[in-house]
Each structure stands twice: as structure tokens, then as C-alpha cells.
């Protein structure tokens, strides 16, 4: 059973199962501040949990929870609230905290979509030279969840390609892919924050270098 119709919901359709709920509906814009949007997701989640108490719930949260620059943001606080509701009211669940998801289409405010659209529109960017971001393709999210959903029970799992990219790294490869230079300036801001990945996640991506993974993302989705 799949709740939602966005890029993550579409990605996991191949792994749809009657005894599992993929909750992939709700607030996807990390800049969202409207409490109505957050309340809508909370209400839907509580309804789904109440109506399907015997199903395993898989929820997609965010690794932004670890970013000190986003501590206290409405989006991060909302995700923590959702995680708490799930932990307290579900008997069988997995919470996947995913990195910056890259998929076909989707929210124009996601990191890669924003960079791509800015380059193509020739809009000037300001990037934080010390910031780092973790990425993952939506097909990899779906494949990982489909393969390992039975191996995790009542856990929070960090899910992303286990490497933190600098923004210049991301932009450089994107410029090459689009055959167009970005107009940007760097400022000395941003930070690196630690995210722990379990051995299953590391093994899933073993054998592909950070540069190769970026190329794969851009080739597959842009």
C-alpha cells in the first residue's frame, strides 16, 4: 500500500506489498513554514496508523535533522514530530532518513533541481563553500528499501550515498552534464556534519566512486 503520488511514491511502486504501508505523502519542501501543511501530514499519518494497525509502516524522513544550520527549522521540527508519533503508535515500522533525493521531475526547490534550473535560466547563485550535502537517487532509495525492508524492525536508518559532496563538486559535474557554466559566487559559510551509515548501506553503494555516483544521478534523472 502506497500513500502519496510524488517521486518517492512512484519509485517504490515496484515494491508495493499488501502488508506494508509506504508513507510517501506529505511535506516535501524543506523551506515550508505553513503550519497547515504540517498539520495535514500529521492528520493523514494518524489516520493511516489507526486504520492499518497490523501493517508495517515505512516512512521517509530526512537527514537534514543532523544539519546544525537547520536545527529548529519548522521542517526539521515537523519531521521529528512525525518520527515520534510513529515510534509511539506503530508496532512495526522503519523510518528512513534520506539525503537530498534526486529523481525525475519533482519539487523544483530540491537541491539538484534548483541548481539545474538556475544554470539553464542563467540566474546567479550564491553557494556556501563550507557546506556539504549527501545525495541519493530515488531508484536507489526504492531498491534499498525493497531489498532490506525485512531486515529492519522499529529502527531509524540513514539512507544516502555515504559521501558528503561540497557544493562546488556538485555544480562542477552539473555544468559538465548540462554543457553550460553556472554563474555563482562562493561565501565562507556552511558546515560539515557527521552522519553515521550502517554497514548494509555502505555495502549497497560499494564499488562506485563519488564522481561516478554524481554522473549516474545526472545521467539517470536530468
- The pLDDT of residue 114: 94
Q: In which residue are the cell numbers 504501508 written?
A: 21
Within 13 Å and on the Cβ side, how many CA atoms surround 133? 18
Provide the pLDDT confidence category of residue 47 given band limits of 50, 70 and 90: very high
Provide the pLDDT confidence category of residue 49 given band limits of 50, 70 and 90: very high
Q: What is the mean pLDDT of residues 117-140?
A: 95
- The pLDDT of residue 21: 98
Provide the pLDDT confidence category of residue 28 given band limits of 50, 70 and 90: confident
Residue 125 confidence (pLDDT) above 90: yes
- The pLDDT of residue 103: 94
Cα-based distances in Å from 157 to 38, 109, 138: 22, 24, 16
pTM of the model: 0.95
Q: For the chain, percent helix, then strand, then coil, each to nearest 5?
A: 45, 20, 35
Cα separation of 113 and 117, whole Å?
6
Residue 68 confidence (pLDDT) above 90: no
Residue 193 confidence (pLDDT) above 90: no
How long a stretch of residues is the chain? Answer: 222
Residue 102 confidence (pLDDT) above 90: yes
Q: What is the mean pLDDT of residues 200-222?
A: 96
Provide the pLDDT confidence category of residue 106 given band limits of 50, 70 and 90: confident
**pLDDT, averaged across the chain:** 95
Architecture label for domain 2-221: 3-Layer(aba) Sandwich (3.40)
Q: What is the mean pLDDT of residues 111-129?
A: 95
Burial classification of residue 72, based on how many CB atoms lie within 10 Å of its CB (0-12 exposed, 13-18 middle, 19 or more buried): exposed
Residue 147 confidence (pLDDT) above 90: yes
Residue 71 confidence (pLDDT) above 90: no
Q: Is 80 helix (H, G, I), strand (E, B) or coil?
A: helix
Amino acid at each position: 500500500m502506497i500513500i502519496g503520488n510524488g517521486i518517492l511514491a512512484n519509485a517504490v511502486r515496484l515494491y508495493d506489498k499488501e502488508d506494508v504501508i509506504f508513507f510517501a505523502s506529505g511535506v516535501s519542501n524543506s523551506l515550508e513554514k505553513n503550519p497547515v501543511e504540517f498539520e495535514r501530514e500529521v492528520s493523514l499519518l494518524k489516520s493511516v496508523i489507526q486504520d492499518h494497525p497490523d501493517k508495517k509502516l515505512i516512512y521517509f524522513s530526512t537527514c537534514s535533522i543532523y544539519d546544525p544550520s537547520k536545527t529548529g527549522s519548522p521542517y526539521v521540527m515537523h519531521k521529528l514530530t512525525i518520527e515520534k508519533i510513529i515510534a509511539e503508535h506503530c508496532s512495526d515500522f522503519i523510518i528512513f532518513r534520506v539525503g537530498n533525493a534526486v529523481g525525475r521531475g519533482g519539487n523544483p526547490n530540491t537541491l539538484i533541481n534548483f541548481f539545474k534550473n538556475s544554470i539553464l535560466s542563467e540566474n546567479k547563485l550564491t553557494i556556501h563553500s563550507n557546506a556539504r550535502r549527501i545525495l541519493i537517487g530515488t531508484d536507489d532509495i526504492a531498491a534499498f528499501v525493497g531489498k532490506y525492508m525485512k531486515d529492519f524492525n522499529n529502527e531509524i536508518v540513514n539512507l544516502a550515498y555515504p559521501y558528503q559532496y561540497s557544493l562546488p563538486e556538485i555544480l562542477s559535474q552539473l555544468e559538465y552534464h548540462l554543457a553550460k557554466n553556472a554563474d555563482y559566487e562562493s561565501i565562507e559559510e556552511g558546515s560539515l556534519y557527521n552522519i553515521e551509515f550502517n554497514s548494509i548501506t555502505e555495502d549497497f553503494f560499494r564499488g562506485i566512486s563519488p564522481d561516478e555516483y554524481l554522473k549516474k544521478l545526472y545521467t539517470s534523472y536530468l
